[in-house]
Structure 1
């Protein structure tokens, strides 16, 4: 997978464009990476429902949980499935609607200056080796184009929306992920 700086799209991943995005504010610099988790229905993997959700095609009659989220219009830039497969929904140059009401470093509206990566999972189920490998590869390329995203500017959704969000949850191995990023610098 290779990131094209001119377009903000990765090659070598599945493209599944979402309508749930808009332009970043003029002159806004990308300086934050937000890690999330999602599974639809909750704790069910490989269903294709995340892709439908981010494209506003989820059928609320298919599952009671879908009824509770049918009003939402959300997306992330990238989604990493359990097997490490990556899907991109929004160009990294555009503003995906992943963070919601959020604040980081005294600034509200984190969607304006962040990139959102969703991991297929739940707060309390371990993520897979393939997911960590893909996440590290994505992060390495993102940071090479936006060096303002230092280690202190890679956060969980729970960090930027405390009390409202809990993902990626205690199952996410931050020490493992950060150690892998530090190895990249060695």
Structure 2
């Protein structure tokens, strides 16, 4: 269930990296991403710290390259299937960057971003797919402009710049699971 833009089944960790949507009623695209910090390392809290502007950049040399980024996502699904929400759905999270979908630029304005803990080349876990499918069903029920046809990867809205969720993401399995 979603109350006041927050998914009740998610752990809530509010991020300061958001702003108002131009039209809060236009939530019409779901964007699937992947992230791991440091790259290809899992099971830590670095993504949460990064999305909240609290990443200790002295802990890994890679963190220096992302020090000045202000990024967030609405949701993050860890490899164990745990779900964290950083930004209310009626607010604009900063996940898509320079992007375009069907002639409309700045997909952050009208999309919900879901980050999966992972990489382009490593299979996602069954727990992640289960959580993602459940969340997607709830989002589609709450926001009628979201449909299975309006679910994309970051690579689809920022081609040439982004590749996630990558070749390891099983679109057929995911989409079959939200329609059952």
* TM-score category (smaller protein): over 0.9
Matched position secondary structure for 2:59: coil
Tell me, in whole angstroms, the C-alpha distance in 2 between the residues paired with 1:33 and 1:16: 20
Deviation sequence 1:124-169 (CA, Å, 0-9, x none): 0000000000000100000001121112210000000000000000
List alignment gaps of at least 5 residues for structure 1: none
Which residue of structure 2 aligns with residue 119 of structure 1?
Answer: 116
Which residue of structure 1 aligns with residue 162 of structure 2?
Answer: 165
What number of residue pairs does the alignment pair up?
180
TM-score by length of 2: 0.97
List alignment gaps of at least 5 residues for structure 2: none
Deviation sequence 1:41-96 (CA, Å, 0-9, x none): 11111110000000111111111110000110010000000000000000011000
The answer as to whether partners of 2:77 and 2:131 remain within 8 angstroms in 1 is yes
Tell me, in whole angstroms, the C-alpha distance in 1 between the residues paired with 2:150 and 2:9: 26
The yes-or-no answer on 1:8 pairing with 2:26 is: no
The answer as to whether partners of 1:28 and 1:112 remain within 8 angstroms in 2 is no
Tell me, in whole angstroms, the C-alpha distance in 1 between the residues paired with 2:11 and 2:178: 24
Q: 1:86 aligns with which of 54, 76, 83?
A: 83
Tell me, in whole angstroms, the C-alpha distance in 1 between the residues paired with 2:105 and 2:67: 25
The answer as to whether partners of 1:13 and 1:88 remain within 8 angstroms in 2 is yes
TM-score by length of 1: 0.94
- Call closer, same or farther: CA 1:176–1:159 in 2, change over 3 Å: same
| Aligned Cα root-mean-square deviation (Å) | 0.9
Bigger shift: residues 9-18 or 120-129: 9-18
Q: Counterparts of 1:1-186 in structure 2 under 5 Å?
A: 2-4=1-3, 7-26=4-23, 28-183=25-180
The answer as to whether partners of 2:24 and 2:90 remain within 8 angstroms in 1 is no
The answer as to whether partners of 1:104 and 1:160 remain within 8 angstroms in 2 is yes
